[in-house]
Amino acid sequence: MKVAVRTLCEFAARTGDLDFRYTPAPAAGEGVRGHQAVVANRPSSYKSEYSLTGNCLGIEVSGRADGYCPQQTRLEEIKTHRGDVSRIRAHQRALHRAQLRAYGALLCRQEQLDRLELVLVYYDIGRGKETPVRETATAAQLWRELEQLCRRYRLWAEQEDRHREQRNTWLDNLAFPFDDFRAGQRALAETCYRNALQGQALLLEAPTGLGKTLGTLFPSLRAMPRAGQDRLFYLTCRNTARQLALDALRQLRIERDRPPLRVLELVARDHACEHPDKACHGDSCPLAKGFFDRLPDARAEAVQTGGLLDHETLARIAGGHGICPYFLAQEMARWCDLVIADVNRMFDQSALLHALIRQNGWRSALLVDEAHNLVDRARGMYSVSLHQQRLLKLRKTAPKPLQPALGGVGKAWQTLGREQSEAGSTPVFLEGLPPAILPALQRLVSAVTDYFADNPPDLALQELLFESIAFMKLADSFGEHSLCEFHKPARGRARLTIQNLVPADFLAPRFESADSAVLFSATLSPGVYYRDLLGMPEDSRFRSLPGPFRAEQLQVQFTPRISTRKTERSQSLEPIADLIADQYRRRPGHYLAFFSSFDYLQAVSETLGHRHPDIPRRDQQRFMSAEQRQAFLAGFRHDGGAVAFAVLGGVFSEGIDLPGDQLIGAFVATLGLPPFDPWHEVLRHRLERRFGQGYDYTYRIPGLQKVAQAAGRVIRTPEDRGVIWLIDDRFMQPMVRRMLPAWWFPETPDASAD
């Protein structure tokens, strides 16, 4: 039985309130540099990252103490922070002290010491100041405390060992819930199973209709015992995909039978919070008061309940114990075998699941659904903006003690504006980060933090604070993977943005920490594009599975005499409208017509209405509410038919199912290429320099991915029949056709045949 010191203390030593009042935390890189700065001030005999291991009540407890000075028999635990040290919460301090004393017990036993000086060193990153908290303890005292922690943990650990054994036995005998696999689903399952056993990273292109959710979950669960994997994480880019995973697990009867497999659904805080009008601390929210005192009983009930711990089940358990359901779910992420969550829980800057993997040394398997979205999602995770307007509004009403710091940031904005005055309202891409802005932001963060120590929170100030800290964190790791943009559309409305271009540098450690990974989608070609931009291992494999559909189910039509290039769009309106009308009259029914923008969509729709008023049509509108989107989709279930105009790459071009007569055809007018603007040209140059594939990685591949996703709405089941019109002469180019689904073109005709 093994446990890390940190895990042991987090389980057995936490007491009191949940308290998430803001305390400024250093970025990961700053924390490392802070530790290095402290160590640099110690004598040469000082031993940093000192490895400690000991057996306590049959449990092997291990960890790395931050520093040990043999000459003074002094053990140190270094914690970096920003601002006034008094802002560090009581429950955090208690946990820090418990960790230090656990390390001290191990050190005394390992080095045969009778007594030890223990020092918690709080190091302020911003000021370069150490605040030591000293105490002295005997080896006997420390060992008794460690035994107390281990007693609390031991019963739980024994229970977890029994659970692991029962879980693996059950998984070894897990049966597929249907008499047979769908066509192609067996190959999908076998591929995922082998990948888990081999511990590799796989990009898996699996066409619609294979039953990908169950076809990936079932074999991955079956593989866990043989692969020696501790956890399985099913990650989604959309909430609807998370629901599909829960439905697949219900098909495995996990909800009904409650087998020895714990499945956790992690939802966003906004969806789980019972008191959104209250702050997350015991003085404000009753569910935070005494949270850690009541957590053990709630945790025990969740474990005993087992099976599917979805949002509703956890909310019921948390309610019975008077604690926060969101943070109960965070705790249960440590103890569940399968976690279903959004991709940000593994890949963003403060990802919970990645932190747990590193802390506990788990061997974990990743399943990433709709993985073609991960490039854009990850770019968003590592991009952030500063807004001058937010600062200017606050300067008018901010308390007097904050005015100097706000003024300093204001001067930095003015300096930046003067330096870039020649650009006018045109966005400017800077060579690096403006030198004056970061020190000014640091002073502002410190001032606002100190102000909050003695004053109630102010929402506008908090937003400015969080925006500033987020910018500083990404500034700390700024490099070739990112771009700094300055844009001043009007006076007082400047914006400074760190935009991520290549998420690979941030995501690579996430993939390295996983034992195996399968990223799957209906559109993942070419695999090297995703491997490069996502930072997957060099030996990652790519496989494209044949789909259940036949070429005769789909007619793919071309338009060799129509161009949708921006300079020729006005000439394309009437030919496209006539083509849509002709197709509709030949086979009336429901169609989707995709265009690159709302303006293009509206122009063709109006042209169709003018030239062919008998053709029923309806348009996607800008900024549609959830109810309006549902009404738009409901239109496909009405009798008769209509041509529904939508934006390529928008909410109606992927993630919707319209089988049978709900959709019998699609028109895709454009290759979906991103605009040839300065931003994309910078991206093209960066990707060319790094991967040698600038144009394809910036324009062609992302564009044709949108085309394949949109056209993929037509054929959803083996019984569907439909037509796709690819409207642009460039679709006939061999290099373009090669990037579209191969089953569309069983025999590639030459250009003359088109």
pLDDT at 750: 38
pLDDT of residue 85: 82
Residue 109 DSSP SS3: helix
- Residues of the chain short of pLDDT 70, as ranges, are 21-29, 453, 746-754
Dihedral angle over CA of 362, 368, 371, 376, nearest 10: -60
CA torsion sign, 382 to 383 to 388 to 393?
Answer: negative
Question: What is residue 453's predicted lDDT score, i.e. its pLDDT?
Answer: 65
Instruction: Reply yes or no: is the peptide bond before residue 526 cis, omega within 30 of 0.
Output: yes
The full set of domain ranges for the chain reads 2-154, 179-266+337-382+503-548, 268-332, 391-499, 551-753
Which pLDDT score, from 0 to 100, does residue 64 have?
94
Residue found under tokens 């089953």: 743
Long-range contacts for 489-492 (Cβ within 8 Å, ≥24 apart)?
489/425, 490/425, 492/388, 492/389, 492/392
What is the third-level CATH fold of 179-266+337-382+503-548?
Rossmann fold (3.40.50)
| Domains 179-266+337-382+503-548 and 551-753 agree in fold | yes
Contact (CB, 8 A) for 42 and 18: no
Q: How is residue 553 written in tokens?
A: 């189910």
From CA 532, how far away is CA 458, in angstroms rounded?
43
For the CA atoms of 738, 739, 745, 750, the dihedral, rounded to the nearest 10 degrees, stands at -40
Pairing status of strand 2-4 against strand 59-69: parallel
CB-based contacts of 343-347 (< 8 A; 24+ apart in sequence): 343/235, 343/236, 343/237, 343/368, 343/374, 343/377, 343/378, 344/377, 344/381, 345/233, 345/235, 345/266, 346/233, 346/235, 346/510, 347/235, 347/374, 347/377, 347/378, 347/381, 347/506, 347/507, 347/510
Q: How many CB atoms lie within 10 A of CB 488?
A: 22
The reported pLDDT for the residue numbered 753 is: 32
Q: What is the DSSP letter of 699?
A: I
Is residue 300 exposed (0-12), middle (13-18) or buried (19+ Cβ within 10 Å)? middle
Pairing of strands 115-124, 74-81: parallel
Specify whether the CB–CB gap between 511 and 430 falls below 8 A.
no
pLDDT at residue number 598: 96
| Alpha helical stretches, state H, 212-324 | 212-227, 239-251, 254-257, 269-272, 291-305, 311-321
Task: Name the token pair of 231.
Answer: 């956890």
CATH architecture assigned to 551-753: 3-Layer(aba) Sandwich (3.40)
How large is the C-alpha radius of gyration of the chain? 29
Question: Number of H helices and number of E strands within the chain?
Answer: 28, 24
Integer Cα distance of 170 and 164 in angstroms: 10
Rounded-to-integer distance, Cα 217 and Cα 233, Å: 10
CA nearest to 442, candidates 482, 476, 416, 418: 476
Look up the CATH architecture of domain 2-154: Alpha-Beta Complex (3.90)
What pLDDT score was predicted for residue 754? 30
